């Protein structure tokens, strides 16, 4: 019949239930051993070690501080608490500790004790020349109109010729670069502003109206020195015209009157379309320093400080 090849390995044995049970128990034993080891290590570092280290117990729960030395004299040192959080608020700064002469060597520290000791009274236009002519306020020769300073109800000069000429030159140069700039709102009388503001207040409430509009007598539009360009819709901020205007209007004597990030100072929301004529020198200095007109003249913009809004 010929030669028949046979396998030297024989038939494969079946994997029995007993073997499966044995292997499973061995695997569980290994896992259990590793888990016990991890628990032991964690217990040492987080429970046993802190109890053995007195320094850890003393500092537990104490906020970290960074001490900044401004000079060789200890009295000039400032303690800055590192309390910055996810909101981006700056670290709290406390005054240097004061030592009672009768307790020399005492480690006692003091912080700001009361609002009255730290409150600083703002002096309007400090370091600048402030003068009032015919009910109109000027600081260093620049007319200032905001929530603090108002214009007389009868003041109605129309659009300022110098400001209009400067705008026409700017618009012509922008046109040469393929951009279109035009005035959608220029001079506005006291009465017109009164009706506009009252409409906002009726629709949105006084608080919201004060953020986006001026009360009668407090609008720069009545000065004849400001203009709204192209539109008063916030979509203007994303246009090429708005970018060009922000970067170049200072070369013609204008500023973005209510810039982004200065809302708490100007008292108004960001308005990329609202420009104000202040002259070449002031405009370039304001632009280069990245400040608003209130900062430049060191004045406030708050109805609480306004004479006509407080019965004075």
Q: Answer yes or no: is 205 within a domain.
A: yes
How confident is the model at residue 311, as a pLDDT? Answer: 75
pTM of the entire structure? 0.62
Q: Answer yes or no: is 258 within a domain.
A: yes
**Could you give the dihedral angle defined by the CA atoms of residues 255, 256, 262 and 267, in that order, rounded to the nearest 10 degrees?**
100
**Do residues 75 and 110 make contact, with C-beta atoms less than 8 angstroms apart?**
no
Q: Answer yes or no: is 64 within a domain.
A: no
Q: Answer yes or no: is 291 within a domain.
A: yes
**98 — phi, psi (to 5°)?**
-105, 135
CATH of the domain at 297: 3.30.1380.10
Tokens (6 digits) for 159: 């659009």
H helices of the chain, in order, are 17-43, 49-52, 54-59, 115-118, 161-175, 190-204, 206-212, 240-248, 263-266, 280-289, 293-297
Selected residue with higher pLDDT from 65 and 46:
46
Range of the domain at 190: 130-305
- Residue 48's pLDDT band (boundaries 50, 70, 90)? low
Per-residue pLDDT of 92-127, as tens digits, reads 333 333 333 333 333 333 333 333 333 346 799 999
Number of domain units in the chain: 1
How confident is the model at residue 14, as a pLDDT? Answer: 58
How confident is the model at residue 49, as a pLDDT? Answer: 60
């Amino acid at each position: 019949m010929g030669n028949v090849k046979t396998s030297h390995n024989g038939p494969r044995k079946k994997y029995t239930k007993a073997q499966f049970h044995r292997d499973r128990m061995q695997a569980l034993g290994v896992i259990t051993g590793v888990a016990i080891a991890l628990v032991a290590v964690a217990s040492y570092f987080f429970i046993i070690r802190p109890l053995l280290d007195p320094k850890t117990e003393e500092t537990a729960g104490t906020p970290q501080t960074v001490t900044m030395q401004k000079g060789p004299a200890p009295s000039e040192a400032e303690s800055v608490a590192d309390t910055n959080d996810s909101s981006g608020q700056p670290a709290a700064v406390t005054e240097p500790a004061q030592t009672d002469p009768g307790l020399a060597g005492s480690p006692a520290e003091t912080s700001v004790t009361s609002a009255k000791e730290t409150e600083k009274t703002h002096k309007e236009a400090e370091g600048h020349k402030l003068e009032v002519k015919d009910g109109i306020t000027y600081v260093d020769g620049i007319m200032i109109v905001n929530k603090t300073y108002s214009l007389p109800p009868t003041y109605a000069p129309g659009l300022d010729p110098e400001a209009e000429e400067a705008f026409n030159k700017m618009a012509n140069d922008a046109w040469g670069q393929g951009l279109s700039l035009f005035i959608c709102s220029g001079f506005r009388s006291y009465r017109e502003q009164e009706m506009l503001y009252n409409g906002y207040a009726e629709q949105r409430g006084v608080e919201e109206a004060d953020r986006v509009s001026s009360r009668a007598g407090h609008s720069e539009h009545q000065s004849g020195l400001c203009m709204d360009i192209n539109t008063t819709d916030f979509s203007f901020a994303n246009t090429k015209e708005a970018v060009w205007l922000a970067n170049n209007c200072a070369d013609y004597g204008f500023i973005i009157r209510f810039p982004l990030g200065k809302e708490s100072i100007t008292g108004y929301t960001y308005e990329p379309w609202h420009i104000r004529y202040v002259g070449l020198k002031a405009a370039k200095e304001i632009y280069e320093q990245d400040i608003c007109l209130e900062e430049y003249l060191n004045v406030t913009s708050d109805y609480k400080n306004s004479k006509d809004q407080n019965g004075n």
